[in-house]
Amino acid sequence: MMAALLLTVSQGIQAQHVTRAVAHRGYWTCEGSAQNSLTSLQKAYEAGCWGSELDIWLTADGQLVVNHDAHTLDGLDIEKTDSKQLLESKLKNGETLPSLEAYLDAGKSLTPMMLVLELKTQSTPERNIELARKVVDMVKDKGMEDQVEYIAFSNQVGTELIRLAPEAQVAYLNGDKTPAELKELGYTGLDYAHKVLKKNSHWIDEAHKLGLTVNVWTVNKAEDLQYFIDHKADYITTNEPALLLDMLKKK
C-alpha cells in the first residue's frame, strides 16, 4: 500500500516536471531576425518562449551593449570603442546594435517572458567587476529583478553577481565545476554545454537534489532536444525554439 502510494506520488512529481524553452541570443533563425537584435527578442516572445538569452559587454566608455562577439560585424572591438560609435553598428538584419537599456526596456513590455542575461568575460578583472555592478544596477533601476536570470562563464563574474544580487538566479556556464561545487559557491544553477552534460549526465540529478536548476546549451537537433527533455533539464537553450516548443507540446 505504502509502496503503491509512493509510486503514485513519484509519478505525479515526474509528470509535473516542465522543461522550458530559452531562445539562444533571441529567436534569430527566422525571417528578418538577427542574433541579439530587438527583433529576435520580439520573435522569442511571439513564439512563446519562456525566456530569451542575450550577451552583454562593457564599452570603452563604461556603457552596456548587447552583442555576442567581442567585435561588431564591422570589426569594432567593443571593449575599446565608445558606445556612441558602437550603437551605429549594424546587425545582420539591418538593425543597429542595441544598448542594454533599450533591450531591457523592450523586454519589460514582453512580460512574463524572462531575460537570461549573459555577462561576457571582459579583458581585465576590474572590467568584469564593473560589468557585473552596472548590469545589476540597471536591472534594479528598472525594477526588473524578477524578470531576469544571470549566466556567466567567468567564476569571478558569477560570484560577483551572487554577492551583488543575492536573491537572483545565477548559473555558471563553463562546465568545469560539479553541482556540489556550484552550490558551495552560491550559484542557483548550472548551464552547461550539451556535450559536457551528456558526458556527466549524473550531474542533472545531483543538481536537482541540491536544489540547483539545470540549463543546457546550445541544443538544436531534435534527438538532442528529446534527450534533455527526457532527462528533465529545467531549461533548454536553443537556436530552434519553434522546434523545441513543438516537441514540448507533444510531450
| Interacting residue ranges for Mg ion, rule: CB under 5 A | 55, 118
The residue with its CB nearest to Mg ion is 118
Nearer to Mg ion, 71 or 208 (CB): 71
Q: Which one, 19 or 36, has the nearer CB to Mg ion?
A: 36
- CB 173, min distance to Mg ion, A: 8
The nearest distance, CB 36 to Mg ion, in angstroms, is 9
Shortest Å distance, C-beta 55 to Mg ion: 4
CA dihedral 148, 151, 152, 153 (to 10 degrees): -170
Rounded to whole angstroms, the Cα distance separating 166 from 55 reads 21
Residue 162 backbone phi and psi in degrees, to 5 = -60, -40
Burial 29-49 (b: 16+ CB within 10 A, else e): bbeebbbbbbbbbbbbbebeb
Closer residue to Mg ion in complex, CB, 14/190: 190
Could you tell me which of 171, 175, 114, 172 has the C-alpha nearest to residue 139?
114
DSSP 76: -
Of 238 and 249, the one with the shorter C-beta distance to Mg ion is: 238
CB of 153: closest distance to Mg ion in angstroms?
9
Which lies closer to Mg ion via its Cβ, residue 23 or residue 162?
23
CB of 119 to Mg ion, least distance (A): 9
Q: Provide the angle, in degrees to the nearest 10, between the axes of the packed helices 100-108 and 38-47.
A: 20
The three grid cell numbers given for residue 239, joined into one nine-digit string = 537556436
Distance (Å, whole) CA 204 – CA 188? 13
